[in-house]
Structure formats: C-alpha cells, structure tokens
Structure 1
Amino acid sequence: MGNIVNTEQAQAWNGYEGAHWARNQDRWDAVNAGFNAPLLTAASIGPHDRVLDIGCGAGQTTRLAARRASGGHAVGLDLSAPMLERARLTARHEGLDNVTFEQGDAQVHPWAEGAYDVAISRYGVLFFADPVAAFAHIGRALRPGGRSAFICAAHAEDNEWLRAFAELRDLLPIGGFGEPGGPGMFSLADADRTRGLLSAAGFERVETTRVQAHGVWGRDAADAAGFLLASGPGRHLLSQVTPETQERALHRLTEILRPYEREGTVPLLSTALLVTAVRPD
C-alpha cells in the first residue's frame, strides 16, 4: 500500500467502516448518487483525460469518470482494501478496461508530477490529517492548468439525516458531532475556511457552491433507521450506551423518519459544497 501518514483513518477504513461500506455499496451509492452529476459536470472530463478520484471508495464515481474519459484513463485511490476489492469486482463486471484502483494515502501517495488532467472526489477529501499538505500533494499530481472538483459535506443542520440524529441527543452522546472545521466528515463545511485551505495548498480560482440532493436511505423508516445506526458514526454512538438505550434510540429514530417515507423509499435531503479549483499554469 505504500506510505501511510493518516494511520487513524487507515485503521477505520480497513476495519468495520470499510467492510460496512463494501457490503453496502449499492445502499451508499443510493444515498450519495445525487451528487454525481454536479460533480462530473464541474470536472468537465474530456474523452482523453487522465482522471484521479481521491477517496474513491467502492468506485462509482471512478467508473463514471472512466466512461466520460473513454479514450483516457481513471484511477481511484482509497485507504480501504475492502472497498477497493468491491470496486475492482464491479469494474470487471461492467467491462471497463480504462479504470484502475490503487490503495494508498492521498497525502503522500507517490504519483508522478503532472500525471493527471483532472482530480475529483465525492466525500473523499474530508479526513486528511493535514489538509493543506494533502491538497498540495494532489495539486502536484495535476498537470499545469489541471482541474479539480470535490464534493464535501456542508453544515450538519443542512442535512436531514443529521437533524434526525440530533433528536437523539438525550439518548446518545452526540456532543459536538457535525461541527464545521473539526476533524471528520464536516471538516470542510465552512466555505471560507475551505477556500483558504486550497489557496494555501497552491490552487487558484477556488470556488465553492452549495448543492443539494435527496438520497435514498432505506425502503421504510425502520430500514433507514437501522442502516443509519449501523453506519460508523451510529455504531460508535450506540457502543457507548446500554442495550436498552440502543433499542430506545432505534425506536425513536424510526418514528422520526416515518414522515419521510415515500412509496417504498426514505429520501433525505443532503447539502454539500462543490469545490472547484485549478493548478496554476
């Protein structure tokens, strides 16, 4: 796998979290697929482009990029061996021969300088131990004038699934979960801070745009509640309370999600920042 500096995230994504996402690839894609179109449109991938997908997970965005770069190539990078195994299997099943997947840490991965035309990411640039160093390293992997487009989680209160979680504060030790700028999923939620980080990393023409999409979290409220609480954050919170409280939290979350049920699905609105930037010529 090469050098790893983000050891905490490597452990998480090669443990329960990575295995959970790999097993539930289709479900997580249903949650996040609404952001694929704005991400790929902003990236402006050409037919001969070389595309780098950071934190590619099970590879849906990498495969979509490979189809747009039909005469080029797409490379997906991720820390998670379980998710990359699923990504490779799916790519082979779909018959894609211009896509590859590599395991590594985007902060230090040994890319050749200027090897790519475009860098993309759907929620894969949120967990860097040193974001300025990581973005600077990604920038060096782009050719002069190369483009980047990243989807990052926006403020927690703008996401319906997080608002549902917040209603469990009297049952679960949620604390400061979801605070912008802190480590984790919402580390880039503050647009001004994020523009500053990318500028400090050497990018130019850094822009952020709020985008929204509904994701499908389950077939009914009970299914969606169980899926949410089985995710990494949910499982972490449940591990800190008694089995009785766990059952109460599941029942409460099911009732919170009941009004969102729509014809065999539970769509919840998510809000993200679409961040675009260019490596200087």
Structure 2
Amino acid sequence: MTTASDWTGRVGRTWAAEWQRTDRCFANLSPRLDAAIRESAPTGPFRAIDIGCGAGSTSLALAAARPDATITAIDLSPDLIAVARTRAAGTASLTIREGDAVATAQQLPSADLLFSRHGVMFFADPVAAFTGLRAAARPGARLVFSCFRDRSDNLWASELMEHVTGQRPTPPPGYVPGPFGFADRAATAAILASAGWAVDGATRVDFDYIAGSGSDPVADAADFFHHIGPLASALKEAADPALDDRLKSALVRYARDTVVAIPASAWIWRATATGEQP
C-alpha cells in the first residue's frame, strides 16, 4: 500500500524521475480523459482543480484547450511538483501547489471543475476525502477522474506478475488505497454518493499500456517495471537475476515494432456536486 509519506519521499522521487515514461503508459488513455474534462467544463471563465497532478500533463492539456480557465494543480510530492512547475513555466492560467489535495482545495475559491488522472485512488479514507473535495466545489460543479479497472483487466499487473513471480496477486476485500482502489464500480459509486456527489456515469476505456519503446522496447519496458508498478517491489524484494529474464520473456509477447503494448483498462468517472454538502 502506497502512503502519503511514500509520495512525499521515495515513490514521489521515482515517479518524478520517470514522468516521461509514465506519461507514455497513459498515452492511449489521456486523450479520452482530456476530452471528458473539456466536455465537463462550463462555458466561459471557470476555476478548476487538478487532484494529484503528478508531472502536470492533464492540467497543461486543459490550460492549452481552455485559456479562460484558472487552474490549480496540487500534489503531495515535492519532486513531482518541481517537474510540473518547470513544465508549466509561462502558463499564466496554471498554478502548481504542493500539499494535501483535499486540504489545499478547501483553501481555494470554490471550484467549477475538479479532475484527476489516476490521482484519487490513494486516499486513506475515500469518503472523507471526496466529502472534503465536495466542500471545495460549488453546487453543480463537475468531477471527472480516471482510475484503473480490475487488476485482471490490466495484464501488466496480473498476468505479468504471475509469469515473473509465479503468483497471481489476490486483491484484499474492500477498499485499499492503491492503483486498484476504485476498481469496483458499485463500491466507487457508493463512495461518491456518500460524499455528496451525484454520479453521472463511469465509462470503461480499454487501452494499450505502452510500457516500452525505442530500438529495444523489451529492455526499456523491463527497466521501467524495475522502477514503477507492483513488479518493482517484487523484483527488489526477490533480488533474483533470473526474474529479470522471466520478465523479458513475458514482455516479448507484447512487443510489436518499436513498442511493448500491454492490454489495460480504466474507468473514467463523471459526477456532479449536489446542492447540499453531506
């Protein structure tokens, strides 16, 4: 389980160093999410908050599409914030802030739009977190976020793990903060409803997760998985060079031309802030 202290420390540093490769992983999902965010934005000037902005890609996409927006992007990781600020230099409509997304959002003027690319699955108490975000939103504000569907629909985290370690991960019951915390559609809908959000829908998006590219995409993907994702911990803990060979042999089946593309699946959620806070 990834905690807040992980994001402010080691995990945040790793993701900051790997932001270009993590952006590449979502290259086939991000356009769908960006479109959903634009479609949910009001006409005319508006205020928006990016929850767990990471390296800032989603905020930058919105700022480019809607220069009339005032966007605040928030993340716990000082290292990711540093990357986002560098990338956002010269984008006057975008402010990057380091801190807890829920607490920081409540210090800002009420938002018309809240959004996130895979940044909301790590809350220790998701009902409390989304209730806090509801408090940061005006009535009728829109919420749009993406999150992974079930681990079994994301072969980079299920089939690949089983091939390398010999064990298929068994998800614990109930909500656990992490990449698959919001995989269960019914449970996620209940969390949002309890927190004062009227669910508008959840769209399934199947996409290719680009884990490697270049002249040797298999080696690139193997190196990436040594740093990012559930395999990284397993490989580090095992400290067995043979596992690297098994990883590469598993990745070969997903290699085509100059990329390693692994089947993945996500939800894109849309919700509206109700008239009264819970």
- Note if 1:169 corresponds to 2:165: yes
Decide whether the 8 Å contact of 1:155 with 1:179 is kept in 2: no
1:125 aligns with 2:120: yes
Unaligned runs of 5+ in 2: none
Kindly indicate whether the alpha-carbon contact (under 8 Å) linking 1:47 and 1:68 is maintained by their aligned counterparts in 2: no
Q: Which residue of 2 aligns with 1:153?
A: 148
Secondary structure in structure 2 of the residue aligned to 1:107: helix
Aligned-residue offset at 1:54: 0.4
User: Does the CA contact (< 8 Å) of 1:180 and 1:188 recur in 2?
Assistant: no
Q: Is the 8 A contact 2:81 2:96 kept in 1?
A: yes
Identify the range of structure 1 (271-280 vs 201-210) with the bigger mean alpha-carbon deviation.
201-210
Aligned to 1:274: 268
1:18 to 9, 12, 16: 12
Report if the CA contact (8 A) 1:108-1:134 is conserved.
no
Aligned residue in 2 for 1:64:
61
SS of equivalent to 2:64 = helix
Deviation at 1:107, TM superposition (A): 3.5
TM-score normalised by length of structure 1:
0.88
1:105 to 2:133 alignment: no
Structure 1 unpaired stretches of 5+: 1-7
Partner of 2:82: 85
Residues 177 and 226 of structure 1: CA distance in aligned 2, closer, same or farther (over 3 Å): farther
Which residue of the partner structure matches residue 179 of structure 2?
185
The RMSD of aligned alpha carbons is 2.1
Q: Which residue pairs with 1:5 in the alignment?
A: none
Report the more deviating stretch, 65-74 or 50-59: 65-74
CA distance in 2, matches of 1:195, 1:104: 26
In structure 2, distance between residues paired with 1:188 and 1:75: 24
The two structures have a TM-score, normalised by structure 2, of 0.89
Amino acid at match of 2:55: A
Where does residue 198 of structure 1 map in the other structure?
Answer: 192
Structure 1 residues 100-147: Cα deviation after superposition (integer angstroms, max 9, x where no partner): 111111233352476211111110000001100100111111111100
The 4+ residue runs of structure 1 with deviation greater than 4 A are: 177-180
Q: Which amino acid aligns with 1:111?
A: Q
Is the alpha carbon distance of 1:248 and 1:37 closer, same or farther for their aligned partners in structure 2, counting shifts above 3 Å?
Answer: same
Confirm whether residue 138 of structure 1 aligns to residue 133 of structure 2.
yes
CA distance in 2, matches of 1:48, 1:33: 28
Question: 2:156·2:263 contact (CA, 8 Å) conserved in 1?
Answer: yes
C-alpha distance in structure 2 between counterparts of 1:273 and 1:240, whole Å? 31
Deviation at 1:248, TM superposition (A): 1.2
**1:160, distance to aligned residue in structure 2 (A):** 2.3
Q: Is the 8 A contact 1:155 1:178 kept in 2?
A: no
Percent of counterpart pairs with the same letter? 32
In structure 1, what is the equivalent of residue 257 of structure 2? 263
Q: Which residue of 2 aligns with 1:210?
A: 204
SS state at 1:34 partner? coil
Higher strand share: 2
Match of 1:38 among 32, 40, 62: 32
* Partner of residue 233, structure 2: 236
CA offset at residue 196 of structure 1? 0.2
User: What count of residue pairs does the alignment treat as equivalent?
Assistant: 268
